[in-house]
Amino acid sequence: MDQGAYLAALQKYCPYADIRVWQDVVETNWQAEYALVWKPENELFQHQQSLVAVFNLGAGIDALEKLKDLPQDVPLYKLREAGMGQWMLEYVLYGLIHFGRHFDRYHRHQTAGRWEPKNTRSLREKRIGILGLGPLGQYVANSLHDMGYNIAGWSRSLKNDLPFPQSTGLESLNGFLAQSHFLVNLLPATDETFHILNADRLMRLPRDAVVISCGRGSIFDEHALLLQLQTHHLRGALLDVFEHEPLPIEHPFWKQDNIIVTPHIAAPTQADDAIKQVLADILDIELGGDQLY
Ligand code: GLV
């Protein structure tokens, strides 16, 4: 996270604000009203008495929720789309095209000098299952739907006005997985989503399905996912997020040739968009709104 970019954006849109950077503050008695944080230390919250709201400078609040002194009575805001949607969409499109248009095969064939065009069905005939319909999941799903792809969504609660089929609840998950030729993980890390894709559920995916994971890694039983890829029940995986990050050097994902590992870069927070959202939320609070996310 580029702190300089945030300070520049804050100063640009909010020139009169009293801004302190926590790492630079040596005295322990300073008090903030609005804390903008990304994976802060617990210590940050130990002496705060004037907090009005905490803003997480990312979409996922899992790191923050683990802190024991995170004040329970102060509203916590997270980034919604905030300019990250297009990045996430590009990441997902890369995985769809890489595997769906057989670029993985052509890349392998190149090393052997093999000229072997493969007949293939249109990607539009394949079902793309989006797990997680939060702001980023909806952005990706709606965009792909608008591009003519065959989309279905699954999430914890039903969302209004989505132009593609959606299902909700654990009881519908196996059916959803069974129809997903491409499975896109955009779920957050919560107690309910931990290892939700275990060995049994991963086996429900159709043969040759592709997994694209860019929400949180803890939703997979990684050992089970690896097995499905080693046995070629699954065709391939593009993975950006992992149960432990950085992905440990000895982790077998690194060496598995039908997995592409990327270092949590799918959708970096966009400082300008993030600060605009935070400022709009602060204005809303100051004007007496009570919109919580
Ligand atoms: C990044 O992982 C985020 O939560 O925004």
Q: What is the pLDDT of residue 30?
A: 80
| C-beta 188 within 6 A of ligand 1 | no
Q: What is the pLDDT of residue 25?
A: 66
Are 128 and 13 found together in one domain?
no
Which residue's CA is minimally distant from atom 1 of ligand 1?
Answer: 58
**Tokens matching residue 106:** 């052509």
Are 78 and 88 found together in one domain?
no
Helices and strands, counts by H and E, the chain = 9, 10
- pLDDT band (50, 70, 90) for residue 26: low
CATH of the domain at 166: 3.40.50.720
Q: What is the pLDDT of residues 65-110, one digit of tens each?
A: 999 999 999 999 999 999 999 999 999 999 999 999 999 999 999 9
Quote the distance between the C-alpha of residue 129 and its chain's center.
Answer: 15
Q: What is the mean pLDDT of residues 244-259?
A: 98
Which residue's CA is minimally distant from atom 5 of ligand 1?
Answer: 58
| C-beta 215 within 6 A of ligand 1 | no
293 is a domain residue:
no
CA of 72 to the centre of ligand 1 (A): 21
Q: What is the pLDDT of residue 232?
A: 96
CA of 148 to the centre of ligand 1 (A): 27
Q: b vs e for 3-32, b when ≥16 Cβ sit within 10 Å of the residue's Cβ?
A: eeebeebbeeeeeeeeeeeeeeeeeeeeeb
The structural domain count of the chain equals 2
291 is a domain residue:
no
Quote the distance between the C-alpha of residue 16 and its chain's center.
Answer: 34
Q: Which atom of ligand 1 is nearest to the CA of 84?
A: 5
CA of 78 to the centre of ligand 1 (A): 10
* Ligand 1 pocket mutation, candidates 56, 269, 278, 293, criterion most atoms within 8 A of CB: 269
Are 169 and 55 found together in one domain?
no
Q: Which atom of ligand 1 is nearest to the CA of 61?
A: 4
Are 168 and 232 found together in one domain?
yes
11 is a domain residue:
yes
Are 244 and 149 found together in one domain?
yes
Are 235 and 205 found together in one domain?
yes
Q: What is the pLDDT of residue 22?
A: 84
Residue 112 belongs to domain spanning: 84-261
Q: In what order do the strands lie in the sheet with 53-56?
A: 34-37, 53-56, 76-78
Are 59 and 150 found together in one domain?
no
CA of 233 to the centre of ligand 1 (A): 30
Dihedrals φ, ψ of 181, to 5°? -70, -30
Active site residues: 216, 264
292 is a domain residue:
no
Are 197 and 68 found together in one domain?
no
- pLDDT band (50, 70, 90) for residue 266: very high
Q: Which atom of ligand 1 is nearest to the CA of 269?
A: 5
| C-beta 136 within 6 A of ligand 1 | no
| Geometric angle at alpha carbon 92, from 174 and 83, rounded to 5° | 115
